[in-house]
Structure 1
Amino acid sequence: MWRKIEPDERHELTIQGYRVVAYVFGDGPETVLCLNGGPGLPCDYLREAHSCLIDSGFRVVAFDQLGTGASERPEDKGLWTIERYVEETEAVRQTLGLGRVHLLGHSWGGWLAIDYTLTFPDAVKSLILADTVADMPHFASELERLRAALGSETVAMMQAHEAAGSYDHPEYLAAITLLNYRHVCRLSEWPAPVNQSLQDWNMEPYMAMQGPNEFLYIGNMKDWNRIPDLPKIKAPVLIVVGEHDELTPACALRMKNALPDGARINVVRNASHMPFYENPEGYYPPLLSFLEDVKG
């Protein structure tokens, strides 16, 4: 379970001409490489939740993706593409000499992990897809279902603000806040690492790739769909999804049905998009069991 752990190593890497900062915990023979969500979030929330895997003998590596955290924050909007982040991830792996990794992608990091695995299959020993999707149009339909639970008048209000672009209106933000507490993190007080990442959110890549909030996808990823390509993934796969996740169990099932036989799925009860904080007892044992089975 998570606790604050200082990294054993902090690396400032030069990748594609920009500074990218990576963090290494432990020195085990098996490496878990974490790709956090966002886009635009520092890796704090995912790094703090998984550095504890050193207790089970794993080396854990995370990095602040370009534009986030301690990494450089260029203003070129053309940089915010999944293709560039795939190349960045490979550069981190190679520069740090990580070898084949257990790749753990959470939320947007799961989209990145899927594209990375399809691009560099020999680099991935196993794949953990946590609270993520592989079909954005299907995901958009699931978001509409979650929004509809707020009631028709609230949905109409949200749509009016979205049409006007008034995403910062108090009544619109109130609806998003309610959805966040239902489907992003159901704890009454959000953990410090989550707040730390959120307080340092770079909205430029987020707006470019995703949209103004977690429940409206209008960025350059809105038509992304890798379901037809998932049968090409040969690495063992664990899918994790919170029972109340914004990236819903239906999205997780869609991935499992498209992957080769043998993909595992863990539906974490009483959790939404942050199961490692909301229900650690439901999250860590299946993760460790999977990693023990696929290492070596």
Structure 2
Amino acid sequence: MWREIEPDERHELTIQGHRVVAYVFGKGPETLLCLNGGPGLPCDYLREAHSCLADNGYRVVAFDQLGTGASDRPEDTSLWTIQRYVEETEAVRQTLGLGPVHLLGHSWGGWLAIDYALTHPDVIKSLILADTVADMPHLVSELERLRAALGPETVAMMQAHEAAGTYNHPEYLAAVTLLNYRHVCRLPEWPAPVNRSLEDWNMGPYMTMQGPNEFLYIGNLKDWNRIPDLPKITAPVLIVVGEHDELTPACALRMKNALPDGARINVVRNASHMPFYENPQGYYPPLLSFLESVSG
């Protein structure tokens, strides 16, 4: 189960002229490379949720993507593309000498993991797609369904603020907060690593690539769709989704149906977008079982 652990190694890497900080836990023969969500979030929340797998013999690696955490924070918006983050991920893997990896992508990190796996298939031992999607237009339709559960008056209010660009209005923020507690993390008190990542969120990459919040996609990824390409992924795949996830079970099923036969799916009950914190018993045993079956 998760706990905060000091890394065994901390590396400051120079990638495309920028400093990127990576963290390594454990020294096992099998490497789990974690790609966290955001964009724009430090890796704390995902790093602290998976560093404990070092206890099971895995080397766990996470890094603060450019623009986040201890890494450099340039303000050039042309840097905020999924293609550049694919290149950054490969540079981290090569510079640290990780060899073939088990790649775990959570949320935005899952979109990045899919593009990375399609670009560098030979270095993927397995792929864990946690609380993520492969079809942004389909996700947008699912988010509209979740928003509709707030009622027509609230939806109309949100749409009016979105049209005006008044994303920081208190009533709009109240609606987003309610959605967050329903579909991002359902715990009454959010874990410290989650709060730490959220408090250090760089909205530059987030606004450029996604939008102003988790329920409005207007950035450069709004039309991203890799469903037609998923049959090209031949590595073993585990899909994880929370029962109440903002990136919904319907999105997870859409990925599973597009992947080659054999892709597994774990729907974590009583959880939303942070199942490793919300329902550890529903998250870790299936993940470890999958990793054990594809390791070696």
Q: How high is the TM-score relative to the length of structure 2? A: 1.00
Amino acid at match of 1:108: W
**What do the CA deviations read for 1:171-202 (whole angstroms, capped 9, x no partner)?**
00000000000000000000000000000000
Counterparts of 1:50-199 in structure 2, within 5 Å, are 50-199=50-199
For the residues of structure 2 that align with 1:275 and 1:75, how far apart are their CA atoms?
32
| Residues 1:219 and 2:219 aligned together | yes
For the residues of structure 2 that align with 1:144 and 1:279, how far apart are their CA atoms?
26
Amino acid at match of 2:287: L
For the residues of structure 2 that align with 1:203 and 1:283, how far apart are their CA atoms?
29
Aligned to 1:11: 11
For the residues of structure 2 that align with 1:56 and 1:9, how far apart are their CA atoms?
18
Partner-residue secondary structure (3-state), 2:281:
helix
Q: How many positions carry a matched residue from both structures?
A: 296
**What do the CA deviations read for 1:102-121 (whole angstroms, capped 9, x no partner)?**
00000000000000000000
| Residues 1:250 and 2:250 aligned together | yes
The CA deviation at 1:43 is 0.1
| Residues 1:45 and 2:39 aligned together | no
Partner-residue secondary structure (3-state), 1:31:
strand
For the residues of structure 2 that align with 1:224 and 1:212, how far apart are their CA atoms?
17
Amino acid at match of 1:16: Q
Q: How high is the TM-score relative to the length of structure 1? A: 1.00
Aligned to 1:237: 237
Partner-residue secondary structure (3-state), 1:222:
coil
Amino acid at match of 1:198: L
The CA deviation at 1:40 is 0.0
For the residues of structure 1 that align with 2:55 and 2:75, how far apart are their CA atoms?
39
For the residues of structure 2 that align with 1:182 and 1:150, how far apart are their CA atoms?
11
Aligned to 1:264: 264
The CA deviation at 1:23 is 0.1
For the residues of structure 2 that align with 1:138 and 1:202, how far apart are their CA atoms?
26
For the residues of structure 2 that align with 1:101 and 1:4, how far apart are their CA atoms?
23
Identity of aligned residues (%): 89
Calculate the aligned-residue CA RMSD, in Å: 0.2
**What do the CA deviations read for 1:25-76 (whole angstroms, capped 9, x no partner)?**
0000000000000000000000000000011100000000000000000010
5+ unaligned residues in a row in structure 2: which ranges? none
Aligned to 1:25: 25
5+ unaligned residues in a row in structure 1: which ranges? none
Aligned to 1:294: 294
For the residues of structure 2 that align with 1:290 and 1:60, how far apart are their CA atoms?
16
Deviant stretches of 4+, over 3 Å:
none
Amino acid at match of 1:220: N
